[in-house]
Amino acid sequence: MNKLTVRDIEVGGRRVLVRVDFNVPLSTTTGGITDDSRIQAAMPTIDYLISEGARVILCSHLGRPGGRVVEGMRLGGVARRLSELLRQEVIYAPDSIGAEVEEMATGIKAGEVMLLENLRFHAGEEENSPAYAAALARLADVYVDDAFATAHRSHASIVGVPNHLPAVAGLLLKKELNSLGRILEDPAQPFGVLLGGAKTSDKAAMLYNIMDKVNCVLIGGGMAATFLKASGYAVGLSQVKDDPKVPSELIAKAARNGVQLMLPDDVLVAAEDGTGVENVAAATIPADKKIVDIGWQAITGFTRVLERCRTVFWNGPMGIYEIDKYAEGTKAMARLIAGLNATTIIGGGSTAEIVIELKLADKMSFVSTGGGASLRFLSGEGLPGVDVILEKTPTGVNNE
């Protein structure tokens, strides 16, 4: 990664605005944090800044409040959890910008940490308002982006603030780019990609970009219906929303590149009301049922192929994971990948949530914090949040 990081600049005594991803899941009943892994992921950067005597100002979004204050999306609970992890009180600002917040930012001391209120309470955040970006920038002397999960967004706190402050990468962002970059540069062979989830279009650009690097692509989830239909199979009530040209082109490209593109031999199907669950061959899907998971033969076949791989990238569940009786295919793949003697990369989003829920994250080589960002990065497209970070010069110092 040819970008300056927080370790490349002087931060002692300086006000450092850090864009983190504290968009944590909350309990629908208590409102409490149900998984703090995104907070934990930012700890190396925060700990480093504290140890160097920086005056740390953290900013994040939470949910989709739509540019207005939503009480259930305040970051007070995050501030309390962060205080526990840091074993010091985190100053919790009542807003993300404004005279009061600027005064608080000026007053924080070396080694102290302040957390701004939800950025998306202001419409200017998602609109990339120059005025909002300038107001955020007034709080600090230096900007650090440590939120890979939002690096594909052109929001004020991501691409606007670097117009006013020198911008460097945090330690998590660096780790993300290096780990995913190895897939593009020099993956250990054989290299297998396991894809699921609903939409093929979300992953098509990535597949086009890495097709000359992979040995096999295995398709499950809603994507399986799309590819099965493109291959001439009837898929019953399974919804196929993608342009049929996309899977057909990917199938043709895989064949040209000598890549094994594997679809499930059998699938679990059910009626719309959840009744009549049965395991059927992919060639005999009933007209009145839809695919809800991969089948037992598919699990066995996928296992045999992935066991031979030395690099595995996984993004997307194999079925409707939220419903327990349709989750076995996903769970089986998670357990399998966790036990492989290979470099195993989990592509963020719901896939990361699944391996964390199953307590398998520490068995993987790397679990990305960004679903959309990781797919865009692997597609070869630039990430707006990374593009604005200062480049390293041959001496390792950038004087901009």
List active site positions.
Answer: 38, 199, 349, 372
**Which of 264, 238, 241 lies closest to 329, judged by CA?**
264
In sign, the C-alpha dihedral spanning 346, 210, 342, 198 is positive
CA distance 139 to 136: 6
Burial call 31-61: b when 16+ CB within 10 Å, e when fewer: eebeebebbebbebbbebbbebebbbbbbbb
| Residue 382 token pair | 């630039």
CB 119 within 8 A of CB 73: no
Residues 6 or more apart whose Cβ sits within 8 Å of residue 273 = none
Q: Distance between terminal CA atoms of the chain?
A: 19
Q: Please count the CA atoms within 13 angstroms of the CA of 291 that sit on its side-chain side.
A: 36
**Which secondary-structure segment (H or E) carries 207?**
helix 201-210
What is the Cα–Cα distance from 192 to 178, expressed in whole angstroms? 19
Asked if 371 contacts 149 with a C-beta cutoff of 8 angstroms, the reply is: yes
